[in-house]
Amino acid sequence: MEKRNLRKERIGVVSSSKMEKSIVVAEVKRVKHPMYGKFVLKTKKYVAHDEQNDCNEGDTVRIMETRPMSKSKRWRLVEILERAK
């Protein structure tokens, strides 16, 4: 039996759900500035595949790495952790 590699997972907030079966997830990290020591917020955006098209803006979701589905989509939705209020 062939073993699959571990796939990366990210948790972020949906910043756009205007596309069909696609969402944009923004992951915010707090990183320490190398010289000054101040914590800076860094944002990274991922385009993810949402098969049921049930995510809305503001939802907290978990996404997982997958095969390329289009020019920019390399992630897929695993679960919705929290709905937007």
CATH code for the domain of 42: 2.40.50.140
Q: How far is CA 61 from CA 8, 12, 24, 35, 57, in A?
A: 14, 6, 11, 33, 11
What is the average pLDDT value for the chain, to the nearest integer? Answer: 96
Tell me the residue range of the domain where 43 lies: 9-82
Provide the number of structural domains found in the chain.
Answer: 1
Q: Mind listing the pLDDT tens digit for each residue in 15-52?
A: 999 999 999 999 999 999 999 999 999 999 999 999 99
0.85 surpassed by pTM: yes
Does 85 score more than 90 pLDDT?
no
φ, ψ (nearest 5 deg) of residue 40: -120, 140
Domain membership of residue 2 (yes or no) is no
φ, ψ (nearest 5 deg) of residue 14: -70, 120
Domain membership of residue 4 (yes or no) is no
Q: For position 84, what pLDDT does the model report? A: 92
Domain membership of residue 38 (yes or no) is yes
